[in-house]
Amino acid sequence: AQKITQTQPGMFVQEKEAVTLDCTYDTSDPSYGLFWYKQPSSGEMIFLIYQGSYDQQNATEGRYSLNFQKARKSANLVISASQLGDSAMYFCAMREGAGTASKLTFGTGTRLQVTL
């Protein structure tokens, strides 16, 4: 079974609108962390936001927020007020275990295109 599933290969959103990128995960470890990274066409990986399995509140970072539904094992990224510069690939990733050193397992990504 896939540990991270991103079911939307591509999404379109109009500038200034909000968009939700889906991510579901699979783990039996009670301690885990969920991360979202942005990959623009230039190729670099940019960390956006983190949600820990024991965090009581949904994470927020500026225009990014994470809709964390633990029982459903989903960690959807919400981007508010989309900008043209948000056009990129977005990857959801998971780290299992309590340590900071564990590897990240990535999903297949969602390509977001912001239109005028």
Residues that bind other proteins (CB under 8 A): 31-33, 35, 37, 42-47, 50, 52, 91, 93, 95, 97-109
> In the complex, what is the shortest distance from the CB of residue 106 to other proteins, in angstroms, rounded to a whole number?
4
Q: Which residue number, 16 or 54, has a Cβ lying nearer to other proteins?
A: 54
Q: Which residue number, 50 or 63, has a Cβ lying nearer to other proteins?
A: 50
Find the angle CA(4)-CA(7)-CA(33) to the nearest 5 degrees. 25
